[in-house]
Chain A
Amino acid sequence: MKKLVFLGISAVFGCASGSGGGRVFSPEWQNDGGKSIAAVQARIAAAKVDPGPGVAVGVTDTGLSGVLLDGSGKWKHAGKVDAMPSVSGGVVVATTGGSVVALDAKSGRKLWQVDSEGRSLRGAGDDGTTTVVSLGSSSGGSSMFLAVERDGNVSRKFKPEAEIGTPAIQGGIALVPWGNQYVSAIDVGAGNEVGRLLLREQVSHATNLGGSIYFGELSLVRFDDRIGQAVQQQGTQVTLPTRELPGKPLWFSDGTTVSPANATARERIRLFAHPNGSELSGGRFAATYFRIAMGLGATDGKLHWVTTTKSDVIGGAGTKGGFALCTEDGTVVLRDEIGGDAGSVAFDQPIRGCAVQAGSFTVARGKPPAPLPQQIAKAIEVREAEMAVAQRFLLRELGALKEAFVTKVLIDLAENARTTPMLLEDARQLLSSRRTGAEHMLESLSKHYDFLTDVLRPPPVGPMADALSAMNESRAAPLLARHLNDPANTADDIQRAARALEKLATSSELEELKTFFALYRATADQKELVNAVLSVARALVRIGGEDGKRVVRDAARDPLTHPDIQAGLGGLVPAEAPPKAAPAAKAAKG
């Protein structure tokens, strides 16, 4: 079966060849069950991989700008880049003006420059001696692999037909993902393929994360002494929990394509995590959506923190202890693993794209963040239409929290005239199912539409009526009764307020109820108002004594009463017994 697959691939791909050994990227390779890659790993295990400094490289209008995450330095490099730069270990690689350029990650000093042959950067790796670079056409295809020594000598070049992804290198062995399932181990010196890894999951990246090499795209597998078992999915696997997140963010983009230098929506909606063996550093990963970044649980995807940035997050990395998030205004925001503000470093100018390497940098513990409901509330306050998807997600998260403060946030949102219709509807729905925060609801219900004080959106009367009724909150009754007769409330809100009053009203609300009944029993022009009148009628029968019953009975008989209301009133109060004739009258008749 496997053989057939490989033969099929062979028909599609040509083969690049280097000098000596196995042919690189050969489609005729037979699955060796992880033996060859395990042997390669054992051979180079002693060669340390330099994690490199923590650095953020921003794409500016004129070139590149680097800032070290620990604040120890900044640099600039002139020359417009045509693809997102790549940072690996101590080297930054970019394609600019027809060349591949390598810069020292700490100082920005140019290390070498070679011809890109019209291609743009896909990704690069470095082991302190040799830099491996994957290039391609920005429109796809034209893969080219380069190995460049520190002196700028191109020691190896391949132009495979297969699309190759972001490579890494350790101890002179280049690790090149390709064909979405292979990682070829190529002896850069000899030019032959010395081992190959077959992965069952998509792989287009070989990347140095904190001094360890990982392969993958959707998930990662570490290049360690268990790599031979990776084909049986027994390697050191790092997977992010599956959960629906706004914008469907990805951890890694497709490494076989050129990422544009200017961040697109894809880079603004991303996942960041820092693997530590098979786990994630700090037990968290981060998801970004434009100006919102969220910290989520590594195992369950549970929301732990939310931070709102001044401009879009367009790049970043998980680090030890937290996250470094690059924002479009030229700031690298540092957040610890619990979302605490751990400071920031700045490029001193706006940036268009950003690549971040966590390297050896550790985010120190920051200021304790505000409680999660407040963090979410702040994120929801951002009035930008493009944030709506993330805000709806956060609103659902908020609604699941029990704190009374959440109720206040939902009320504020529902009362704010600037809240988008979509969020307003969500907030109202969540409010109706709240069972905490009654005090906030009562406070809100005490307000009415008021032209003179600029209260131009009435409170969410209906949802709060539902919730307060479910909480048996009798203090709501007078407030709800007043809202019945406020024409600024929607008919739906009135209907729900009346339904709550059916249960909560006391004799103190009798006058408001009678007024409402009188005003609408014959003028209700919407189904919701008809229902509201019937609810009020039931309340009148319950609390209004004989007078209440009489009002309902009279209305049931009055031809002017709305027919649906009349029908509904029929069964509420038994018809009055005809008055008994006085004995004297009887006698007179007789």
Chain B
Amino acid sequence: MRRTTHLGILAACWLAFATAAPDAAAQGKTKGKVTATKIDAAKIKAELESGNEKRMLAALQQVEDAEDAGKAAAPHLEALARRGASVPVLSRCLEVLGGLKQPTSSLAIAPYYRHRVPEVRRSAAKALLKTGGPAAVKALRAALRSPDAQVRGIAASGLGSLNAREALPDLFAALSHNVGEAAASIGQLCKPEECEKLAGYLGKLPFDVVTSGFDQILFRSPKDMGDEQKIRIVGRLRELGTKDAGNYLADVAERWPKDWSKRVKQAVDAAVKALGGATASPEDE
């Protein structure tokens, strides 16, 4: 196990968790108690319109438990969001809507990233990462300007996975304003010249922040990102000449897929050698 934990890895893990969490949770529940079943959308609708908080929360739980079948209830949850409800109901509703991953839900969720209650607006931003679509991208780009640092962070980390290339200027602006989560998204979205721009932040922003973006670039599929750009990134790290850079590249070398470019791997290995990056540490053994 490598001792260095990179923000990039953390961000990637978080994203993976954020997008997969409902499924995982549902799986957990499946093991424990409920198996995904069909739902009675009309009944769900009636419960969500009951005005009874307990019943509404129970209905939301039912939708969540139903996994894919719950998608049938998405319009009723969207209607609930449009009507408004108490903070617990809204937060849960947004969470469940996110889990249903219906791009059509983004329009109903979007206004909530600006809610005055932090819990609600953060739930909304997280939900938008999962529902996606143009409305989500639009709202998350706007969320980068939010007074709430958490909302900014969620938006910055999610725009990359939503493949929102149009958000790149905003992401760079956010990165310049120390929204570190933007680096990973930039790494996911950038074209070579934009990736170079990200590399320009080396030495200006914390190393872990910039490498969270580099990590995305280096591990983008060979079809999506050519060897030349990856080698340039390795070169930038090598030029940095720090132990951190060496350790990071050693970590990259370890994770490098066996069937991926040998040229890039050689460049990484050469840089690790030159920088004296640790390939294993006594503490890890």
Contact = CB atoms under 8 A, between A and B. Distances in A.
A518 B115 contact: no
Contacts of B82: 518
A487 B115 contact: yes
Interface stretch (A299-307, A522-530, A578-586): A522-530
B98 to A, nearest CB: 18
A519 B173 contact: no
Interface stretch (A93-101, A418-426, A446-454): A446-454
Interface string A528-545: 010000000000000000
Interface in B64-106: 81-87, 89-90
Interface string A423-454: 00000000000000000000000001111110
A559 B51 contact: yes
Interface residues of B, number: 30
Given A485-B111, A515-B111, A523 B117 contact: yes
Interface in B106-146: 111-112, 114-117, 120-121, 144-146
Interface string A464-497: 0000000000000000000001111001000000
A525 B116 CA distance: 10
Contacts of B89: 522, 560
- What is the size category of the interface that chain A forms with chain B? 20 to 34
A554 interface: yes
A486 B115 CA distance: 8
Q: Which of B51, B114, B116 has the most CB of A within 10 A?
A: B116
Contacts of A518: 81-84, 111
A523 B120 CA distance: 10
Given A452-B145, A523-B120, A559-B51, A554 B83 contact: yes
Contacts of B81: 518
A558 interface: yes
B145 A523 contact: no
Given A450-B145, A452-B177, A487-B121, A523 B53 contact: no
B152 interface: yes
A519 B112 contact: yes
Given A515-B111, A523-B117, A523-B120, 12 more contacts: A449-B145, A452-B144, A452-B177, A487-B115, A518-B111, A519-B84, A520-B116, A522-B84, A522-B90, A523-B90, A523-B116, A558-B51
16 contacts: A451-B174, A452-B144, A452-B173, A453-B173, A486-B114, A487-B114, A487-B146, A515-B111, A517-B84, A520-B116, A522-B87, A529-B116, A554-B83, A558-B51, A560-B86, A560-B89
Interface of B: 51-53, 81-87, 89-90, 111-112, 114-117, 120-121, 144-148, 152, 170, 173-174, 177
Interface of A: 448-453, 485-488, 491, 515, 517-523, 525, 529, 554-555, 557-560
